Structure 1
Amino acid sequence: MIETPEKTKSGIVLIGDLPWGTHFCQFYSTKKDLVDILVPYFRAGLESNEFCVWVTSDFFTTDEALDAMTEGMPTFPQYLEKGQMEIFPYREFYLKGGSFDLQRTLNMWMEKHDEALSRGFAGMRVTGNPYWIDNKKDWDDFACYEAAINDVIGGTKLLVLCTYSLEKCGVVEILDVVKNHEFALAMNRGAWQIVTMPVLAHNRNS
């Protein structure tokens, strides 16, 4: 008998509860797109005693993320004060050491995950944004990193939501992104919808 992974609230109405170990993404065009998804996502995590990490970008900065969380969750400053959430720019994470390193980045996530559990949190949910990528090598390296997440996320108390700017993605990049995630959230005619790549969804559910 296959054990069903424990679930947690995503905070996103369209999705509902998600199994721990879910790696999904969002395509966005505007700052409002990010706020609409990420604020309820993190609100649900904080209210469920989860440790939360938001790695920000030049498109939507750390200050903007702090303002959005405070506006969307009046009690947010209390969670921030007690160290339940970290919000910091991509340079301090993805480019720590001066350049992107796949293994170092994976290790940092897993260290944060293990530390969160040791501190008594129910799990950890995160978001990251590769808006900083401006060349093919970094894109290819980041795509390999996204694929590697799928190899290590099973069995963890971790939710990973990656956000991608449609301004930065052509058809090839969109296919890369969807291929490496269980599903994607995309805006279609004013409403969010779920987009899946059948092969990955089948592999994750088998």
Structure 2
Amino acid sequence: MVPALTEPDYLTAGPAALFSPPWGTHACLIYQHRRDLIDTLVPYLQSGFERDACCVWLTARPLQADAAQKVLARSVKDLDRRLKRGEIQILDARDWYLQDGRFSCSAALNNCIQKGIEAQKRGYEGLFLTGNISWLTGAEWDMFMEYETVVNQVIGNSRIAAICAYPLSACGARELLEVASTHRAAAIRQDGIWREVALGEETLPGEATRMAISQIEANIEQFATLADRIRHPLQLLMATADLSENEYSEVIRQQVQKIDAIVRQLDAGWAGSRAVREYLQNRDFTGGRTAPVTGSGPFPHPSGYPDSRRSF
């Protein structure tokens, strides 16, 4: 156990993976209080500025965007200038992770990778990203853990560093183990005391990549098949509405247009899955060198643990 920390020690005595992470780090902070977020994420972002990184802070309760900006401004005196330059963005986590009010693996992973690409194109050394996961619901937990698994592999050899912050109140023992297993480093901050969470043996990057590519190829096939199977009856419904032309025809057309919009989302998922497959295939996962970020896309999975505390 790490001894209790005094106030001046907060910024330097925690795990190095949280305060000054190397590129490719995907770390996790389990926090108890709002102060834990401030004492961890402010120095983390300061470290990003010192490394000439572009920074993104995805905020949620109990430290939302306006409050987070004020807190950061106390330590970063030229924060307004950095915000105007786009060197840092402070956003609502729900706008990043959710699409139409629901968690979207595609949107979240695409945002992460595209921000990494954009940062390097703009001349920054890389991307420092942190997101608070207090918005997550129990129904979305399984999919989010699988998303975290993919992120853990995708950014491993990239110029991206990421910290995910989970509220301790929402995690039982099973959740803690699951969160720890989907990050390269994990630590709990409880009542001013740091505890690092021991991680089990990690899947070899090459093996995990092959598994990811295999699942993505299955997703691509499923997206294409579903889209084709839906479009055929839609065409028949639209033709019937046009031919019969009665009081129901306009209602049918409107509903067909709504379903067609959903099919276009499947098309977007298909395209995104192809982008992620190409991204993984083109990466250097041998662990020898850092490579630039070059792709984007989705990757959902199912899984589950009973007897837990998933009530965010």
What is residue 246 of structure 2 aligned with on the other side?
Answer: none
Matched, 1:101 2:104: yes
Q: Which is strand-richer, 1 or 2? A: 1
What is residue 263 of structure 2 aligned with on the other side?
Answer: none
> 2:153 pairs with 141, 151, 154, which one?
151
What is residue 188 of structure 2 aligned with on the other side?
Answer: 186
1:187-206 equivalent positions in 2, closer than 5 A: 187=189, 190-200=192-202, 203=204
1:104-183 equivalent positions in 2, closer than 5 A: 104-135=107-138, 137-183=139-185
1:125/1:12 CA distance change after superposition, 3 Å: farther
Matched, 1:33 2:40: no
Structure number with greater Rg is 2
Deviation at 1:102, TM superposition (A): 1.0
Paired amino acid for 1:14: G
> 2:70 pairs with 61, 64, 67, which one?
67
Number of residue equivalences: 194
What is residue 15 of structure 2 aligned with on the other side?
Answer: 15
What is residue 4 of structure 1 aligned with on the other side?
Answer: none
CA contact (8 A) 2:59 2:93 kept: yes
Q: Which is helix-richer, 1 or 2? A: 2
Deviation at 1:20, TM superposition (A): 1.0
Structure 1: runs of 5 or more not aligned: 1-10
**Normalised TM-score (structure 2):** 0.58
For 2:78 and 2:91, locate their aligned partners in 1 and report how far apart those are by CA, in whole Å: 20
SS at match of 1:199: coil
CA contact (8 A) 1:182 1:196 kept: no
1:13/1:45 CA distance change after superposition, 3 Å: farther
Paired amino acid for 2:14: L
CA contact (8 A) 2:56 2:90 kept: yes
Structure 2: runs of 5 or more not aligned: 1-10, 206-285, 288-312
**Normalised TM-score (structure 1):** 0.86
Deviation at 1:14, TM superposition (A): 3.3
For 1:12 and 1:116, locate their aligned partners in 2 and report how far apart those are by CA, in whole Å: 27
1:78/1:47 CA distance change after superposition, 3 Å: farther
